[in-house]
Structure 1
C-alpha cells in the first residue's frame, strides 16, 4: 500500500507522466472513483488509437519504412498509421504511394508536421512569424491535397516537440483543430505551469488551443492502459528507425495494445481527435458532452432521438466566428470559462460540430528570405540522406552484430 495519494494539482516537472513510478499513489484512487461514481462520473465513449510516424516523404521507402509492407502489417495486426507530413515536401510524393494512400484511407492518413521542419520553428514568440508559417503549412497541405487527392487531417504535430504559448494561441486562429505532441510544457523563458490534473484530462486546454498527448512504445503498455482509463486516446509516436528490426518490436507492442481488456478502435488521427471527448448521460434522451478539439464527431447509436448539451473551455469567446453542426450555425452562450450549446441527433444520425475562429490579420511581413529558403531546402535533403542511408547503414550493422553475438552466446551454452 501507499501512504500518499497523488496530488493532481501539483505542477508537472517532466514532459509527461509515467504511471510506473506512481502506480500505488494513482491507480487505486482512479479505479475507486470510476467504480464508486460510475453513474455520475464523466467517461470517454471509447478508446481510439493511431500510430504516428514523423517525417516520411511519400516515396516507396523512407529509411526503414516501406509503405507497402507497412500496409500489409496494418491489415494483419489491425491498426492504422498517420504520417506526420512535412508540408515543405508537398511536391515530392511518388505517384504509386499516392495511389496506395488514396486506396486505403482507413489505414493511412496525413497530419501537418510543422511547415519547413526547421529547428524550433514553432518555438518562437513572434506571433506574425508563427501565423505566417502556420498559414503557409496549411496552404502547402491544401496544394498537396489538390495535386494528389489525399485528404489531410488538420492536426498539428510540432517538429522536435517544441512549441511556444504564442504558437498555441496563433494555431487557434487557423483552420487547425488541435495539436498532438509528446511534450506538454511550452518553450521559452516564462513557461506556463501545467498541472498533473490538466495532463490527466483528455486534452490540455490551458494553452487556449487543445493539446493531445502521444507516447513512444518504450514508455510501456502500462502508460497507455492508464491513459485509456483516464479517457485519453492511444496515440503512438515513432520514427522510421524504430522499424529497423522489420517492425518486430512495433508489432509486438501493437498486439499487446490490442490484447487489452478494452482494446482501442483504430482510426485516422483526425478522427481520433474529433472523437476525443467525455460524456455523462442525464437520461436516455439527454447527454452531456465536454468537447476538446475544434471539431467534435457525435454519433447517436440509440434507437431514439437524443439531445446533446455540449460545453467547451474557452478563454477568448470574442474571437469565435461561428459554431455549426455541419449544416447550420448554432446559438451558443458563454459563462464561467465555458461556451455551451445544444445539438440534436435523430436515431442513427452522425454530425461533426465545428468551432471556427476569426483569422488573424497579417502585417505584410509574410515571406522567407532567400537564405532561409536555401537552408530549409538543404536541411530537408540532408535529413533525407541521413534517414535513407546513414541511419539505416548504422542500424543494419548494429543489428547484424547483435544477431552474431546472440548466435555466439547460444553456441557457448
Structure 2
C-alpha cells in the first residue's frame, strides 16, 4: 500500500466518529461528566465539550452530533427555546439529556425545560442494603434490561419529582422500602425527546477479574449507557448479533459419560434452543464410540467440540515453577496434533478454542496459544494467573479482552451456581456473548438441568444465536455506522466473518489491537491483504458487496508440522490419571456422597491433597513401626527357642 493510500486510510478511520455535545461549566470536573465520558468512550463516541457555549450550541446542528447532554447547573444560563429550535431544525432527530440533577438544581429551570413534567429533585439518605434500582419497561431504551434490577452503589440518592403525564416515563427508579423514586426519566418537549437523570454520589468501584463485578459497575453508569445507546443507534459500537454457548468440560465421546446421555442432551438442546460444546481432552483422541460420533456429525448445529488442555493433569498450564513454558508449548503442539488426528478419525471438526484445565494460565501461555494460531481461550476468569485486571469500563463490561498478549480471552459463567438474571440482562444489553460451563455431575438431577438457564437467556433475548465456540469467536467484533455511510469494525479476534447486511455495498474499516511481537500476515478470503500498523493497532479497509460475507484472518508465528508430532500415550502416570478421572465421573459421581467428595476435592484440592499425604505418611509410618515390631518379636522368639539348646550343650 502506498504512503498516500495509508494517509487516506488513517484519515478515513479517524474522521467519522459521531459526537456527543456536552455543555457544562468551564471548570466542570464533576462525577457526572466522568460518567458521560466513560459511557461515550465505551460506545466509540467523541465528547465535544471544548469551546464557548455559543460554539457548543452551534454544534447541535452538526450532522455528526448524535446526542446533547447538558449539566443541570447550566440550565438557568441557557435559553431552552433556542436549544429546542436548534434540535427541531436538524435533518435527523437528536435526543437531549439533562444530567447531574440534585437538590440544588433550579426548580424553575427544571419546570421550564420539561414543560412541568419535572418539578424538582430531592435527596434521600439510605443504606445500600435498603433497596435497589428497578429498570422500567421502555423497550426502545431499556431493551433487554426491561424489568431488571440493579444494585445500589451509594449511601444517598437524589430523585426526581415528576408530574404524571401521558408522555412522561420513569426509566430507572430507586426502590427504597415501600417508596419508588425516579432517578432517570423521559418526557417529550416540543416534539423532542428530553431525558432527565439525577446526580450520583461519587463511587470508586475497583475492577477485578470476578465476572460478577459487572452489575455494580454498570449500575454506576446505567443512565448514560442507556441514553447513549438509544441516541446513538447504529453509530455506537454494537455487536453484529447475540450469541451464547454451553460447554461441558472433561467429556469424551462415549455413551453415556457419567450423567450425560448425548441422545437425551440433544433432545433438550432442540426443545429449549441451546448449543452444547464438549471441552474435549486431546488425550482421548482415539477413544470415540461410533454411535456418538454419528450423533455429533448429524447435529453440528447443537453439538460441537473444543480443546481442553492436552493430558488434563493438574495445573497442566499452571505456574511455570511446576510446568515450565517450554513444556506448556509442547503440550499445546501435541494437543493440536491429537485434535487433528481426532478430526481425521471421526470426521468431526473442532474449534481451536482452549479451555484451560483447572484454572487459567499465565500471560506467556496466552502468547504461546496465539503463536500456535488458536482462536481464543475461554475460562471462568479472563485474566491470566500472573496478571491484574485492567481498569476501565472497556475491560469491566465486555466478555472478551485483548489486554493479554493481544490474544482473545473470554470469561464464562458456571451454570452449576445460580447466575443473577440482571447479570445476563446486562450482557444481552451490551451485546456480550453469554458463555456457560458445567461438568457431567451437573446433570445428576436430570438431563434437563440446564433448561432453566437456557430459557432465561432466550426470554431476555429471543434472537440469541446458540452456536459453537468457533462460530462465536468468528463473530467476536463490534461495528458502528460512520457518517460517510460505511462501517467501522473493532475486532476482538484474529479470525472474523463479516456479512454485509446493510442492503448496499460498503467499505468496512477494521481495527484490531496487536502487539506485533511475532511475524503476521493478513488474509482476506484466504489471500494475502495489505494492512496498516499504527502503534498497537492493525488497520485495514475491506469492501464488501451487499449480502456478501468475507473472512478476515490474521495468521501468526511459526510454521507447525502437526503430522510430525508424537501423539502416542507412553506415560503410565497420565494413563492412570485419565483412568481415575473416568472412574470418578462414571462411577463415583453416581452417589450423593461421591458427588460431594468430587465437589469438595475440586474446591479444596490443596487441603485434600495435604490430608491424603498425611494419611499416606501415617500409613507408611504405621507399616514401618509394625514391620520393626514384628521383626523384634521374631528376634525374641528365636532367642527363647535357642535357650534350651544352649543349656543342653553345657
SS of 2:212's equivalent in the other structure is coil
Residue-by-residue CA offset, 1:318-342 (whole Å, 9 max, x unaligned) = 5233111123111011113100011
CA separation of 1:199 and 1:42: change in aligned 2, threshold 3 A? same
Counterpart check, 1:381 vs 2:611 = no
Show the counterpart of 1:349: 548
For residues 23 and 330 of structure 1, the distance between their equivalents in structure 2, rounded to whole angstroms, comes to 39
Match of 2:381 in 1: 183
* 2:199 aligned with 1:199: no
Using the alignment, how far apart are the partners of 2:252 and 2:595 within structure 1? 24
Alpha-carbon offset, residue 182 of structure 1: 1.0
Bigger radius of gyration: 2
Higher relative CO (Cα under 8 Å, sequence separation at least 6) belongs to 1
- Decide which of 36, 39, 43 is 2:238's aligned counterpart: 43
SS in 2 for 1:278: strand
User: What is the aligned partner in structure 2 of residue 403 from structure 1?
Assistant: none
Unaligned runs of 5+ in 2: 1-151, 155-199, 597-650
Q: CA 1:39/1:174 → structure 2, altered by over 3 Å: closer, same or farther?
A: same
SS of the aligned residue for 1:385 comes to helix
The 1-side partners of 2:444 and 2:318 are apart by 31
Q: TM-score, normalised on structure 1?
A: 0.87
Partners of 2:202 and 2:285 lie apart in 1 by 49
Counterpart CA distance in 1 for 2:328 and 2:285 is 20
Taking the aligned partners of 1:391 and 1:324, their CA distance within structure 2 comes to 47
Per-residue deviation at 1:227?
1.7
Matched, 1:328 2:328: no
2:296 touches 2:303 (CA, 8 Å); kept in 1?
yes
TM-score normalised by the chain length of structure 2: 0.56
Of the structure 1 ranges 179-188 and 268-277, higher mean CA displacement relative to structure 2 is found in: 179-188
DSSP 3-state at the match of 2:541: strand
**Superposition pairs of residues 106-125 of structure 1, within 5 angstroms:** 106-125=301-320
Match of 1:220 among 414, 420, 426: 420
Check 1:238–1:6 CA distance in 2 against 1; reply closer, same or farther (3 A cut).
farther
Structural RMSD (CA) = 2.6
TM-fit CA distance, 1:193: 3.7
Asked whether the 8 Å contact 1:124–1:167 carries over to 2, the reply is: no
What secondary structure does 1:169 align onto?
helix
Assess, with a 3 A threshold, how the Cα gap between structure 1 residues 23 and 380 changes in structure 2: closer, same or farther.
same
Q: Deviations over 1:270-295 (max 9, x none)?
A: 00111111011115851100011111
Q: Give the deviation of 1:106 after TM superposition.
A: 0.9
Map 1:225-374 → 2, pairs under 5 A = 225-282=425-482, 285-316=485-516, 319-359=518-558, 373-374=571-572
Shift of 1:361: 9.1
Give the match's secondary structure for 1:171. Answer: helix
Change beyond 3 A, Cα 1:331–1:369:
closer
Equivalent position SS for 2:547: coil
Q: State the distance in 2 between where 1:166 and 1:121 align.
A: 14
Q: How many residue pairs are counted as aligned between the two chains?
A: 389
Deviation at 1:29, TM superposition (A): 4.2
Distance 1:395 1:196 in 2: 44
Preserved contact between residue 356 and residue 379 of structure 2 (Cα < 8 Å)? yes
- Runs of 4+ with deviation above 6 angstroms: 366-371, 395-398
Match of 2:603 in 1: none
Give the corresponding residue for 1:405.
none
Q: Does 1:152 align with 2:347?
A: no
Query: Which residue of 146, 159, 170 maps to 2:368?
Result: 170
TM-superposed deviation, 1:32: 3.1
8 Å contact kept, 1:178–1:212: yes
Which one of the candidate residues 206, 212, 222 is aligned to 1:27? 222
Give deviations 1:16-44, integer Å, cap 9, x for gaps.
23445556424334323323433532111
Secondary structure of 2:435's match? strand
Contact 1:49 1:234 in 2 (8 A): yes
Cα displacement (A) at 1:206: 1.1
> How far apart in 1 are the matches of 2:588 and 2:456?
31
| Closer, same or farther: CA 65–348 of 1 in aligned 2, 3 Å | same
2:503–2:547 Cα contact (<8 Å) kept = yes
